[in-house]
Amino acid sequence: MNQRIREAEREMKYEEYAGREGDIVTGIIQQTDARYTLLDLGRVEALMPQAEQVPYERPEPGARVKAYIVEVRKTAKGPQIVTSRTHPGLIKRLFELEVPEIADGVVEIKACAREPGARTKIAVLSNDSNVDPVGACVGARGARVRMVVNELRGEKIDIVPYSDEPADFVMKALSPAKVKEVRIHEDTGTAEVIVPDYQLSLAIGKEGQNARLAARLTGWRVDIKSETQLAEEEAYANQDWAEGEWVVDAESGEQVWQPAEGGEAMSAEAYAQAAEDLDENVAEAVAEAEVVVEAEAIVDAEEQVAEEESGSADPA
């Protein structure tokens, strides 16, 4: 009789959690070792494997944490609940808890890219033209997003508006960097991104993190170039004669430059003059781009100062 009661209890516990994969639970850390952390969920226990734990987070027994249910397994000893702190689904569920507009379906999280413990980017869309999706997620004075960040132990979160237009989406995904232009190459699945020179390091991010997350968020390979890099590339473009080899002319016996794409061979003097002209054109194009970049940097700096002064003038 006792055996049947225990089996019935195990079955009830399993049924309670069987349909909750993808849900978020709050548990108390019981113990931790090199393999996993054990969470007390009340009536049952849950496992969090080492691979599902955030690097540099130190689980402390007795601490209360939220975790994402990855899998519920049925075993002879009862349900085995596998949880995660690294799953992107945890981000979505945490925002559902803090943002009523997401819980109600007014705002959707369309995409999420995460490097656990470091940084996350989410793209949000509003189904109501009167609701700003980014503002809803941030909350008054950042209160809502701050709650999520606190739960994630300080993980940085970028919230950007979702867009059906690939170029626009990539541009927004690279926030906080300011993007000049995005060129989509569908044949290679690449988004060629042009940024002002002074924004290049910000667009790429520390160790490439910003560009990497933007690529995961949008699904496009992201190739970032500065304006001067682009100017140099374009100045060298369409110079078919520049690729080739030196050969001996059969008639004169002198070395001539034979373009790889075919066409008329060039004497050494003609090649030297063409190369000199090309270098001058490239230097001129780069100089013009640098002037534009410097002007843009000045304008951006002035706008930033104006925004800061405007913000400081607002009542607290």
For residue 208 the two structure tokens come to 């490439």
pTM score, two decimals?
0.73
> What DSSP string describes 166-221?
HHHHHHHHTTTSPPSEEEEETTTTEEEEEE-GGGHHHHH-GGGHHHHHHHHHHTSE
71 and 103 fall within a common domain: no
Confidence category of residue 315, pLDDT binned at 50, 70, 90: very low
Which of 46, 69, 84 is a domain's end point?
84
Nearest to 67 by CA among 94, 107, 98: 94
Residue 169 domain-assigned? no
Confidence at residue 265, expressed as pLDDT on a 0 to 100 scale: 81
97 and 32 fall within a common domain: no
CA distance 237 to 313: 50
Model confidence pLDDT, tens digit, residues 187-231 = 999 999 999 888 999 999 999 999 999 999 999 999 999 888 887
Residue 313 domain-assigned? no
**Does the pLDDT at position 92 exceed 70?**
yes
**Does the pLDDT at position 123 exceed 80?**
yes
Q: To 10 degrees, the CA torsion angle through 212, 213, 215, 217?
A: 170
Confidence at residue 259, expressed as pLDDT on a 0 to 100 scale: 77
Confidence category of residue 250, pLDDT binned at 50, 70, 90: confident
Residue 45 domain-assigned? yes
89 near 59, Cβ under 8 Å? no
Domain of 51, CATH number, reads 2.40.50.140
The H helix count followed by the E strand count for the chain is: 10, 14
- C-alpha angle 67/156/142, rounded to 5°? 95
97 near 104, Cβ under 8 Å? no
Residue 78 domain-assigned? yes
Which of 110, 128, 162 is a domain's end point?
162
The mean pLDDT of the chain is 85
User: Which run of H or E residues covers position 74?
Assistant: strand 64-75
Residue 232 domain-assigned? no
Residue 157: φ, ψ to 5°: -130, 125
Query: What is the domain extent for residue 110?
Result: 87-162
**Percentage of the chain exceeding pLDDT 90:** 56
Model confidence pLDDT, tens digit, residues 138-185 = 999 999 999 999 999 999 999 999 999 999 999 999 999 999 999 999
Which of 84, 112, 144 is a domain's end point?
84
Residue 224 domain-assigned? no
Confidence at residue 302, expressed as pLDDT on a 0 to 100 scale: 53
| Sequence letter at residue 210 | N
Residue 182 domain-assigned? no
Please tell me the total count of domains within the chain. Answer: 3
Domain of 149, CATH number, reads 3.30.300.20
Query: Which range scores top for mean pLDDT: 38-52, 163-177, 236-250?
Result: 163-177
Nearest to 70 by CA among 58, 80, 61: 80
Model confidence pLDDT, tens digit, residues 257-306 = 787 777 778 787 777 877 777 777 667 666 665 655 555 555 555 555 55
The average pLDDT across 3-18 equals 70
The average pLDDT across 239-263 equals 74
Confidence at residue 272, expressed as pLDDT on a 0 to 100 scale: 80
Who contacts 256 (Cβ-Cβ below 8 Å, separation ≥6)?
246, 247, 248, 249, 265, 266, 267, 268
Confidence category of residue 133, pLDDT binned at 50, 70, 90: very high
Confidence at residue 52, expressed as pLDDT on a 0 to 100 scale: 95
133 and 78 fall within a common domain: no
Confidence at residue 316, expressed as pLDDT on a 0 to 100 scale: 42
183 near 87, Cβ under 8 Å? no
